[in-house]
Structure 1
């Protein structure tokens, strides 16, 4: 079954249409949720809750839209809800963020050259607040623009830019501290 047919059947309430969408997007959704939530079980819970919300709100989906961006937003909101419920929205550190040299728009993971460095980046991501981690995931792993992320999170672009800047600075500092 093609995606458009699956979407049409899902919107009509046909569970088989939903099953096709689950098979097609479950792993991708789990990757996004796992980058936001360090606990794999919570990531699975977030994806499951997002699929339930997708079923519940299927009539609000515009058939002329792409399914993944709409569903990714549900996954992100569920992952953030779980993270906040666990009290993990407290910033990883307080105080002003220090300025670091280099291109402010560069990807913090541009120096990945070994499995050890990848592990260090994963640990550094876990230290970010869920909001900052979500923004980094959407920007650098999903490739969304700042405007798309702001829309997905329901915040102003300026607020998003501040969070992204602080997250990049923290990641740079944490990664350079352990170098």
Structure 2
């Protein structure tokens, strides 16, 4: 029996620590993805919390979950998108994305700095996309969902996902090729 199945079985038997062991390694990533989709750390916390509650209930109700990591990533992305839809209906898009970074233990300090700067520029570019393009990029590249899974999450056709992803790549390429005003001023 693999570790995920063992933790789910222990959880069903009343071991609350087993649920924590199951989800804890996934929390940083799903939070980062939710924050990127929602552009709000507070809403990201809500999305993750909603997903945690739903995951716990699913386990306790005996739902057959073959790959918990993949299922939980998908579930959290869905909850973030639910909040994004609610938010877009209720108010303009305001909020802030706190810097979210996962340290690279293997990199030298200069490599880490260069990677951080490049990653920050890319993240800024991704975050500047409209919600449709931003969402497909985040789900595809950060959550590593397949095109079919993204189509299911967003409830649109796979061709629409391909089109949005292509358009998002073009927009990102255009943004990344433009000179950075900060760098131009420093010269």
Whether TM-score is above 0.5 comes out as yes
Q: How does 1:29-178 map to 2 (within 5 A)?
A: 29-58=30-59, 59=61, 61-63=63-65, 65-87=66-88, 115-178=116-179
Q: Once the two structures are superposed, what CA deviation does each residue of 1:104-135 show, in whole Å capped at 9, x if it has no partner? A: xxxxxxxxx65443222111111223332221
Q: Once the two structures are superposed, what CA deviation does each residue of 1:26-56 show, in whole Å capped at 9, x if it has no partner? A: 1222232233232222222211111011123
**Which residue number corresponds to residue 97 of structure 2?**
none
Secondary structure of the structure 1 residue equivalent to 2:88: coil
Secondary structure of the structure 2 residue equivalent to 1:158: helix
Deviation of 1:81 after TM superposition, in Å, equals 1.8
Structure 2's unaligned 5+ residue stretches are: 94-113, 181-187
**Which residue number corresponds to residue 101 of structure 1?**
none
* 1:6–1:17 contact (8 Å) kept in structure 2: yes
Change (3 A) 1:128 1:10: farther
Structure 1 position 10 matched with structure 2 position 11: yes
Q: TM-score, structure 1 length as denominator? A: 0.72
Structure having the larger proportion of residues in helix:
2
Structure 2 CA distance, aligned partners of 1:52 and 1:178?
Answer: 45
User: More deviation in 25-34 or 9-18?
Assistant: 9-18
Structure 2 CA distance, aligned partners of 1:139 and 1:27?
Answer: 17
**Count of paired positions:** 157
Structure 1 position 22 matched with structure 2 position 23: yes
Q: TM-score, structure 2 length as denominator? A: 0.69
Structure 1's unaligned 5+ residue stretches are: 93-112
Deviation of 1:159 after TM superposition, in Å, equals 1.2
